[in-house]
Each structure stands twice: as structure tokens, then as C-alpha cells.
């Protein structure tokens, strides 16, 4: 892992970057809650494709950018908008103008939305540079799918130096935000020839899901991923898993597979244990594939290479 990032990176070039980003994110969050889950998911999708280099923000205009891939198309626009607004706020300060990378702004905004929804505050390492490349093809097989089992999840996260514990802690991000019905419809309607409903799914919850997401529902309908505290960044996600109330196979498998169940039980029993593990894991996630020093650039416009 690179240790080239440092929390004080902008100490002389933009000493107030953290407060500038925080107020922009706070303002956006007051306008719409989606700011939080959208920004958090955006950071994850950025880091898993070409590293945390803000490649996800680039728009090529020809439908061939990273963000045009089917796995990224459901990224909510409010996450992109959050970074654009925070970047504008940073650049409106003459001292900071074109000094702070879009990748670092996304990392800071992510920390801020976690805190704004009741999650832990943590120090963000800085010094990432922005990438210049964004292609649809680069996303292929880089992001986990909602039907993944434990081994698939572990091997995908391990590729980026993330352990099973990191993976379980990061999955806790599903404690806030929304999912479209099609992502889990198989689990409630045609799971297998033997069971129409996934037997690892809580039966009452499955019936509720069927009500919210009937067959042939408008594909734009999205529901809360955490049925208990959908707007709070807490360990309810793990308590839900203990009740069979994980929305995706990739969520529920963390409890149904005995190799990960112990960690789920630990996080369910202690919000502090979850918060600590999440901070460690998201800090590691923030180091994945980073560009530093003279690599990449400080993008002037987060949606286009300079």
C-alpha cells in the first residue's frame, strides 16, 4: 500500500480545503438526503476502477465513459453534483483555485456525508491526483454484483488489498440509500425451481418487498436498503442480516456463510466496532490505485481532462 498520502497535503496551498468542502456538502445535503448515499457509492465505484482518481466523473460525451457502463448507470446524479459543487466552492477561493484534485474532493465529501448521516468522523489522507482516462470497457468485471457469494466478494476486494473484514465493514454502507427493484426481484419471485422465495430471506420481509416491488413494477422505483434506519449510518444493517433482512444476496450471504457470520455478529453487537472497522477499511479503500506526485493532473473541470 502506498503511504504517499498525507492529511496535511494542502496545508500551504489550500489550508481551508476541509471546511470549504464540508460547507458545500452540508448545503447540498440539506437540499436532498440522496447526497449522502450517492456520494458514498460514487467513491466506491471510482476507487474500484482505475483507483481513486476521479475517473468516474469524466464525461466523454459519446456514451463511452466509465459512468456509462451498466454497473454505473444507476449512480445517482446527486453524487456527481456534490463533487462539482464542492469543487466550485474550493475554486472560488483564489488561493485554492486549481490546487485541489477532484479525487481528493470526492474523498473529503465522502467522509462528510458519512458524518452527516450519523457515522464516524475520520481523518482523510490527501494528495491524490486525477486520472485522464475513462472508458466503459475498464469497468467490466471490476464491480461486485448483488448476486455475488462470499468467495466472489472476497476475491474482488482482495485484488485491491482489502480483507474480508474490510469488505464486511464497507458493505455496511448499505445502511443508507436506495436500490431498484430489479436488483433483488429474483430473490422474491423466482429464486429456484424449489423455492420461489430465497430461503435465507426473512419471510415477512420478503412479502413486504413483494408489496413494494410487485412484478413488472416501474423500473425506476427504488426502495430503502436498510428497512429499519434508512437515513442513519449505523450498525442496523448487520442487525438486519441477523434477521434475514439483507436486501441483496451479497448482503445476506455475509450472515448465512459461517466464515463471515462472526464479523457480522460483532458489528451487530457494537456500533463502535463497526465504526472503527469502517474507518480503517474506507481509509484503505482511499489508497487503492492512487496517482501521486507528478502522475495524472489536478483537473480544472472534474468532468473533463485538462
β partners of residue 126: 6
Phi, psi of 281 (to 5 degrees): -75, -40
Which residue in the set 117, 250, 252, 256 belongs to the binding site for ligand HEM (CB under 6 A)? 250
50 sits near ligand HEM (criterion: CB under 6 A): no
Which residue in the set 39, 175, 250, 263 belongs to the binding site for Ca ion (CB under 5 A)? 175
Name the binding residues for substrate. 144
Which residue in the set 2, 13, 74, 200 belongs to the binding site for ligand HEM (CB under 6 A)? 74
User: Which residue, 214 or 297, has its beta carbon nearer to Ca ion?
Assistant: 297
180 binds, among ligand HEM, Ca ion, none (CB under 5 to 8 A by kind): ligand HEM
| Contact region with ligand HEM (CB under 6 A), list: 4-12, 18-26, 127-135, 177-185 | 177-185
Contact by Cβ (8 Å): 283, 275: no
179 binds, among ligand HEM, Ca ion, none (CB under 5 to 8 A by kind): ligand HEM
Contact by Cβ (8 Å): 253, 150: yes
**How many residues sit in the footprint of ligand HEM (CB under 6 A)?**
26
| Contact region with ligand HEM (CB under 6 A), list: 60-68, 95-103, 141-149, 213-221 | 141-149
Alpha helix stretches (DSSP H) within 49-193: 77-91, 102-116, 150-158, 164-171, 185-189
β partners of residue 6: 126
User: Which residue, 129 or 183, has its beta carbon nearer to ligand HEM?
Assistant: 183
Q: How far is it, in rounded angstroms, from Cα 93 to Cα 20?
A: 9
74 binds, among Ca ion, ligand HEM, none (CB under 5 to 8 A by kind): ligand HEM
Whether 45 is catalytic: yes
120 sits near ligand HEM (criterion: CB under 6 A): no
Contact by Cβ (8 Å): 20, 83: no
46 binds, among ligand HEM, Ca ion, none (CB under 5 to 8 A by kind): Ca ion
Q: Among residues 45, 69, 160, 275, which one is catalytic?
A: 45
Task: Centre a 10 Å sphere on the Cβ of residue 116 and count the other Cβ atoms it contains.
Answer: 20
Angle at 44 between CA 41 and CA 50, to 5 degrees: 135
Which residue in the set 35, 39, 55, 303 belongs to the binding site for Ca ion (CB under 5 A)? 55
Lookup: cell for 301: 473541470
Contact by Cβ (8 Å): 54, 103: yes
Q: Tell me how far, at minimum, the Cβ of 250 lies from ligand HEM, in Å.
A: 4
Best CA proximity match to 234, nearest among 152, 148, 120: 120
Q: How far is it, in rounded angstroms, from Cα 63 to Cα 235?
A: 38
The catalytic residue positions are 45
Binding footprint of Ca ion on the chain (CB under 5 A): 46, 49-50, 53, 55, 175, 226, 229, 232, 234, 236
Amino acid at each position: 500500500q502506498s503511504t504517499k498520502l498525507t492529511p496535511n497535503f494542502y496545508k500551504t496551498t489550500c489550508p481551508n480545503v476541509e471546511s470549504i468542502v464540508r460547507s458545500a456538502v452540508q448545503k447540498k445535503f440539506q437540499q436532498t438526503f440522496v447526497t449522502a448515499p450517492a456520494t458514498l457509492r460514487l467513491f466506491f465505484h471510482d476507487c474500484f476502477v482505475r483507483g481513486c482518481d476521479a475517473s468516474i466523473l469524466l464525461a466523454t460525451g459519446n456514451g463511452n465513459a466509465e459512468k456509462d457502463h451498466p454497473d454505473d448507470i444507476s449512480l445517482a446524479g446527486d453524487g456527481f453534483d456534490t463533487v462539482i459543487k464542492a469543487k466550485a466552492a474550493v475554486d472560488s477561493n483564489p488561493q485554492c483555485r486549481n490546487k485541489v484534485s477532484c479525487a481528493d474532493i470526492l474523498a473529503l465529501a465522502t467522509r462528510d456525508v458519512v458524518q452527516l448521516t450519523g457515522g464516524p468522523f475520520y481523518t482523510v489522507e490527501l494528495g491524490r491526483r486525477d486520472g485522464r482516462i475513462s472508458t466503459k470497457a475498464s469497468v467490466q468485471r471490476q464491480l461486485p454484483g448483488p448476486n455475488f457469494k462470499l468467495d466472489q466478494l472476497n476475491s474482488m476486494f482482495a485484488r485491491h488489498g482489502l480483507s474480508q473484514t474490510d469488505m464486511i465493514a464497507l458493505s455496511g454502507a448499505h445502511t443508507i440509500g436506495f436500490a431498484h427493484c430489479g436488483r433483488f426481484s429474483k430473490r422474491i419471485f423466482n429464486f429456484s425451481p424449489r423455492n420461489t422465495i430465497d430461503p435465507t430471506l426473512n419471510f415477512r420481509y420478503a412479502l413486504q418487498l413483494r408489496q413494494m416491488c410487485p412484478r413488472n413494477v416501474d423500473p425506476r422505483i427504488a426502495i430503502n436498503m436498510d428497512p429499519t434506519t434508512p437515513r442513519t449510518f449505523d450498525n442496523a444493517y448487520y442487525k438486519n442480516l441477523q434477521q434475514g433482512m439483507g436486501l441483496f444476496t451479497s448482503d445476506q450471504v455475509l450472515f448465512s456463510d459461517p466464515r463471515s457470520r462472526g464479523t457480522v455478529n460483532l458489528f451487530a453487537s457494537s456500533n463502535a466496532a463497526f465504526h472503527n472497522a469502517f474507518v480503517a477499511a474506507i481509509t484503505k479503500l482511499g489508497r487503492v490505485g492512487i496517482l501521486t506526485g507528478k502522475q495524472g493532473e489536478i483537473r480544472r473541470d472534474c468532468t473533463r481532462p485538462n
